[in-house]
Amino acid sequence: MIDFHTYPAQIAELIETDPDLPGAIADVFGLYMGPQPLATYLGHLDEAGITQAVALPLDCRSAHGTTVFSNEQIASLMERTDRVIGFASVDPNRADAAEQLVRDAEEYGLRGLNLDPALQRFDLTDRDLAYPVYAAAAELGIPMMVRCGINWAPKGLSSLGRPLLLEQVVHDFPELPLVIPQLGWPWVDDAIMLAVKHRNVYLDTSVIFSGTPTESLRHVVETRIGRELFDRSIPRQVLFGSSYPRVDPKRAAWAVGELGLRPKLERRIFHDNAAALLFKEAN
């Protein structure tokens, strides 16, 4: 099982390397829990049956004057455990963002790009600032996660992360795998429309808004999407994501398991689709 969506925001061994990180995690992400040892993070993965997890950093130096994990820090986490799949983040508001993405992805072996327009405060359709970053990701052949939907961070402006803003981007970068987390909630229809139409648009299951992950996911899948749509139209485009530490991976995994999907589809969501995207495994 691969978790496509975790932030290493509670890992003590990482946080202790940078005295600015505790404040940045609280101020930018709005996460106020104390740190835990790396053993806890790995224990969470074990308890959920997860073998590897994507670790996401965020570069929001222009908007908030900080990174919440630099690419280098993610690389240092990868040195501590081979169960972490590191992504990069760059700040599209900075002129050197595309160049930095290429450099860091190659130097540190980072396998994807994470962007969060709501927190990084950029326009997804900006051809001058954002498009060079998209082009660099496409050139690198790495997936790009764009945090769309509700943004729980206090400083996040969710309106900047409406999935429909990505429509022109998808048209302009048809080879760039683009991941929309949390099924785009509350703009589920927009996210589904993009995924149904475009094979390079992926959705992750980390939807949480009220109730347990099981309740949130079931509500969205059964009343907004229709369970059959996953199987019929986008079986290779749905990824398991927990959104840790907003929610614990075990409950996020239970939520997918309790949907009662066909075993082949469930296997794809839990593993095969992510493995194809990250490691080019056959699917």
Please give the span between the terminal C-alpha atoms of the chain, in angstroms, as a whole number.
14
User: Which residue's CB is nearer to another protein, number 6 or number 100?
Assistant: 6
Q: Any contact of residue 23 with another protein (CB under 8 A)?
A: no
Q: Any contact of residue 40 with another protein (CB under 8 A)?
A: yes
Distance, CA of 9 to CA of 134 (rounded, Å):
26
Distance, CA of 238 to CA of 230 (rounded, Å):
8
Which helix (H) or strand (E) element contains residue 272?
none
Q: Any contact of residue 157 with another protein (CB under 8 A)?
A: no
| Rounded least distance, CB 150 to another protein, Å | 9
Q: Any contact of residue 44 with another protein (CB under 8 A)?
A: yes
* 133 Cβ neighbours under 8 A, 6+ residues apart: 90, 92, 97, 98, 101, 113, 115
Q: List Cα–Cα distances, 190 to 130, 149, 243, in angstroms.
A: 21, 10, 20
Q: Of residues 32, 175, 223, 282, which one binds another protein by CB under 8 A?
A: 32
Which helix (H) or strand (E) element contains residue 123?
none
Q: Any contact of residue 152 with another protein (CB under 8 A)?
A: yes
User: Which residue's CB is nearer to another protein, number 27 or number 126?
Assistant: 27
Q: Of residues 17, 23, 39, 281, which one binds another protein by CB under 8 A?
A: 39
Kindly state the tokens that stand for 65.
């004057």
Q: Enumerate residues 223-252 that contact another protein by CB under 8 A.
A: 245-248, 250-251
Can you give the binding site for another protein, defined by CB under 8 A? 29-33, 36-37, 39-40, 43-44, 46-47, 152, 208-215, 245-248, 250-251, 254
